[in-house]
Chain A
Amino acid sequence: MNKILIVDDEQDLREMINLMMAKEGYETEMAQDGIDFLKKNDNFQPDIVTLDVMMPGLTTKDILEELKDKYNKPKIILLTVVRFSDEEKEKLFKMGNVVDYITKPFDFDELVTTIKDNSFD
Chain B
Amino acid sequence: MNKGEPEIVKFLRDEERLGKLHSKLQSNCKELEILDKPLENTSDDMINVIKNDTGRKIEYSELDGLEEKYKTIFETSAVAITLTDENERIILWNKYTENLLGMNKNDLYMKPVELLYPPEEWRRIRSENVRQKGMQHHLETKMIRKNNELIDVDISLSVLKNHKGRVIGSVGVVRDITQRKMMELELQIAHEKLEQRVKERTAEILKSNELLKQEINERKKAEWNLKIKDSAIASSINAIVFVDPTGAVTYVNPSFLNMWGYDSEEEILGKPAVNFWHRKGRYTEVMNATFNKSGWVGELVAEKRDGALFDAQLSANVVKDEENNPICMMASFIDITARKKAEEKLRKSQMRIEQQNIQLKKLDKLKSNFLNITSHELRTPMCSMKGYVQMLLKKTLGDITEEQKRGLMVILRNVDRLDNLIRDILDISRLESGTMKFITEITDIHKMIGEVAETMRLSADLKHVQINEEIEGKLPKLIIDQERIKQVLINLVNNAIKFSSDGTVIVIKAKKEEENILFEVQDFGRGIPRDKQKKIFETFYQVDYNMDRTFGGAGLGLAISRGIVLAYGGSIWVESKLGKGSTFRFTLPVKSVKDVEDRFREVDVFMVETDSEEKENNLRMEEYVNN
Contact = CB atoms under 8 A, between A and B. Distances in A.
A9 to B, nearest CB: 9
Interface in A63-112: 64, 78, 80-86, 88, 91-92, 95, 104-109, 111
Contacts of A60: 621, 624
Contacts of B429: none
B382 A54 contact: no
Interface stretch (A14-22, A35-43, A113-121): A14-22
Nearest to B438: A85
B261 interface: no
Contacts of B391: 16, 19-20, 23, 108
B381 interface: yes
B37 interface: no
A2 interface: no
Contact of B619 (A54, A88, A109, A111): A54
Interface in B316-352: none
B380 interface: yes
A71 to B, nearest CB: 23
Nearest to B383: A105
Interface string A14-54: 00110110010000000000000000000000000000011
B376 interface: yes
B620 interface: yes
Contacts of A80: 621
B439 A107 contact: no
Interface in B377-410: 379-384, 386-388, 390-391, 394, 396-397
B308 interface: no
A10 B381 CA distance: 9
A10 B383 CA distance: 10
The secondary structure that dominates the B interface is helix
Given A13-B380, A16-B388, A108-B390, A85 B439 contact: yes
Contact of A91 (B379, B419, B625): B625
A13 B384 contact: yes
Contact of B379 (A23, A81, A92, A108): A81
Given A12-B381, A54-B619, A83 B390 contact: no
B621 A84 contact: yes
B490 to A, nearest CB: 16
B375 interface: yes
A81 B376 contact: yes
Nearest to B381: A12
Contact of B372 (A12, A78, A81, A111): A81
Contacts of B622: 88
Nearest to A19: B391
A105 B623 CA distance: 22
A9 B520 CA distance: 44
A92 B621 contact: yes
B223 interface: no
20 contacts: A10-B384, A13-B380, A13-B383, A17-B387, A20-B387, A20-B396, A53-B619, A54-B619, A81-B372, A81-B376, A82-B437, A83-B437, A84-B621, A85-B439, A91-B625, A91-B626, A104-B383, A105-B383, A105-B419, A108-B390
Shortest beta-carbon contacts, A-B, top 9: A61-B624, A108-B390, A12-B384, A85-B439, A105-B383, A16-B387, A105-B382, A91-B625, A60-B624
